[in-house]
Amino acid sequence: MIEHAQRIGRHTARVGEHDDTLELTLRGDVAPDEAKQVFDFMASRFAGRSYVLVTGDMSELGHILAESRRVVMREARRVPQIRGLVYYRASFGARVISDLVVRAYAFATGADLAIHFAEDEAEARAWLAMRREQLAAGEHAAVSP
């Protein structure tokens, strides 16, 4: 049986209530091996999907180490394209770093990727629902603040 949640260091990755969604809880720094394990999780749980949406609680995020950001670029092509990403409870610093990583990912993969930062999980879930509707209608991404 495939597990739908996995501990990765202090972090947690799980398949969301919708099977197109990766839910992350990030606690502390993200080490390179942890970044790779997130992509391993994605590759095994979302194989065959045309896209993945990502959401996560960033309230306890530390640093995303430079080598971890490089891992994201190396591993990005082996998983379905991320077409929407919404993080909640993110500090200003976490927003800046995440935005840079996401834009680099979109550039490297050519993904039509929308990104949004929400105040809480309820707002994040509402944004995911809206993004699903956009994707179903064939609409392209619009980056929002």
Task: Pull the structure tokens for residue 92.
Answer: 């200003």
How would you class 14 by CB atoms within 10 Å of its CB: exposed for 0-12, middle for 13-18, buried for 19 or more? middle
pLDDT at 113 over 80: yes
pLDDT at 101 over 90: no
Locate tokens 């610093």: which residue? 93
Mean pLDDT for 50-71 is 93
Domain boundaries defined on the chain = 5-136
For residues 34 and 84, what is the distance between their CA atoms, to the nearest angstrom?
21
CB neighbours of residue 81 within 10 Å: 17
**pLDDT greater at residue 54 or residue 110:** 54
Q: What is the pLDDT of residues 32-52, one digit of tens each?
A: 999 999 999 999 999 999 999
Angle at 27 between CA 24 and CA 79, to 5 degrees: 35
Q: Kindly report the length of the chain.
A: 145
CB neighbours of residue 40 within 10 Å: 16
The class of domain 5-136 in CATH terms is alpha beta
